[in-house]
Amino acid sequence: MSQDLSLAQNHAFHLARTLMVPVTLFRSGGELGVLPSDELEDDEVETIAEFDPFQYGPAH
């Protein structure tokens, strides 16, 4: 699972840099997903990390 999480974090970071918007990496129903942060309702999912393209690394 840690390899899947590491891969998801890497892809989320690159997606944020490509789209130039903050994205949130989350877990829902045992699966990992990524959405632009402004499109995600926090009560639906377990937030793992948020990546902001204007900062280096995770936003939180």
| Digit-coded pLDDT (tens) for 3-45 | 789 999 999 999 999 999 999 999 988 899 999 999 987 677 8
Give the three-class secondary structure for 31. strand
Spatial CA neighbour of 57 closest among 17, 8, 4: 17
* 49 DSSP β-pair partners: 25
DSSP 8-state secondary structure symbol assigned to residue 48: E
Between the CA atoms of 11, 60, 40 and 2, what dihedral angle is there, to the nearest 10 degrees?
A: 40
The pTM for the full model equals 0.81
